[in-house]
Amino acid sequence: MKSVPQISLEEAVALVKDGDILLQGGFGMTGNPVHLMHALAETGTKNLTFIGNNVGEVGIGGGKLLRNGQIRKMIGSFFTSNPEAVKAAQEGMVEYELLPQGTLAEAIRAGGAGIGGFFTPTSAGTELARGRETKVIQGKEQVFVEGIRGNVAFVRAWKADTAGNLTYRMTEQNFNRAMATAADLVIAEVEEIVPVGEIAPEHVHTPGSYVDYLVEAKLTLEDLGSSASVASSRKADETRMNMARRALNELKKGDVVNLGIGIPTLVADLITPEDGIVMHTENGMLGVGPSPKDGGGAMDYPVNAGKIPVTALPGSSYFDSADSFAMIRGRHVDIAVMGGLEVDEQANLANWAVPGQPLLGVGGAMDLASGAKTLIITMTHTNKDGSSKVVPTCSLPLTALKAVDMIITDLAVFRFIDGQLTLIELMPGATLEEVRAKTTAKFIEKLQ
């Protein structure tokens, strides 16, 4: 059995050269090789192309490299989790490329598997498809994406043996597993290194053949950033809770369900284990339970896609981001409940960007909108200026084409029935006249 060299943080980061493409595992600060990143921030290495889901948090992880001006270009799916990354992009201090989260994960997996690229329906018809080759495959427009490889990958595992076999803890697989396959040089930062044989073969997530060097480094609460702990509770007004309750009525026992941020998150607070609904989170978990009651954070619990610590229900499972989005694109998620900025008469969705703002944070929205079997949008019926969000044609950047099945607003419930926007229900306190006055889209009425 081979023996993988164990080196210091300083020795590890000395292997990164000016101009390298650096892959960095982690989802937010969960499973993030933060010690390697901070050690790299102490060097003069510069002109890096940084590839990761997001560029750490302010002053933490990749955020340190960004502050130092060591990053020339960043490629990821959700830069908006770090306001300094947004500012750097807006001011032209760094180049950037935004990819849907599932596309990013699959591109890294393809690069690691020696696959030149792939076609995906995710982002078809949107701003992110501009300039890319498209084809109609099996009746669907699909977008070509090249595989991604790096010069160096920094990954974080919970445990390694001396042969380089890695095992990850809870939702810390995320981007780490794919990235460990997709670089010329792979350096694994781990909590503990044990003798070969102490990790059972069936518990190895990344085989040692992928790993070149090991660095042992212990996590602290400070390393976890915003996931270090969870707030005790959140309050929502009755209008928003009414929308959440109505969405819950669409979920049935055994459904695999993904909830977006905003109003959809409130649905999670209403679900009980007895409901039998299987919650999916795109960073790699099925069977998401409620927030921990003891206020514990990501040191003790898995996290969801909002980077919030959660509990695991009996029968839960963990996997990596590439597998998670394979579930989504493969239509193994029954229902996605998402927020919206606009939905139009053609069932098109816009929910991730507004004109005049840099396109810096799409996350998993495009994958979920086009991949879930059923898409429910929850949103207020109008904007703050009173303009309708249910419109003839979306004016905002599109998330997905012809994807929406149901709209739940504070005033009304619509379904797309035989391709026609159809009003089926009024929400508490709303009148038909009010819905007509505040909806610019054409719809038919089949009130129940």
E strands, 293-419, in order = 312-318, 335-339, 342-344, 349-350, 374-378, 390-391, 406-408, 412-417
Is residue 403 a contact partner of residue 331, using CB atoms and an 8 Å limit? Answer: no
DSSP bridge pairs for 167: 159
Catalytic hit among 106, 172, 282, 342: 282
CA distances from 129 to 132, 156, 398 (A): 6, 31, 11
Q: What crossing angle do the helices spanning 101-112 and 321-329 adopt, rounded to 10°? A: 120
Nearest to 315 by CA among 365, 273, 352: 273
Q: Which two tokens stand for residue 266?
A: 């409130």
3-state secondary structure of 178: helix
Beta strands in 162-242 (DSSP E): 166-167, 183-194, 213-216
Q: At what angle do helices 238-248 and 263-270 cross, to 10 degrees?
A: 70
**Rg for the chain (alpha carbons), in Å?**
22
For 91, residues 6+ apart whose C-beta sits below 8 A from its C-beta are none
Identify the DSSP state of 398: P
CB distance 280 to 288 below 8 Å? yes
Active site residue 282: yes
Residue whose C-alpha is closest to residue 130's, from 143, 113, 120, 116 = 143
CB 33 within 8 A of CB 155: yes
Tell me which residues are annotated as active site: 282
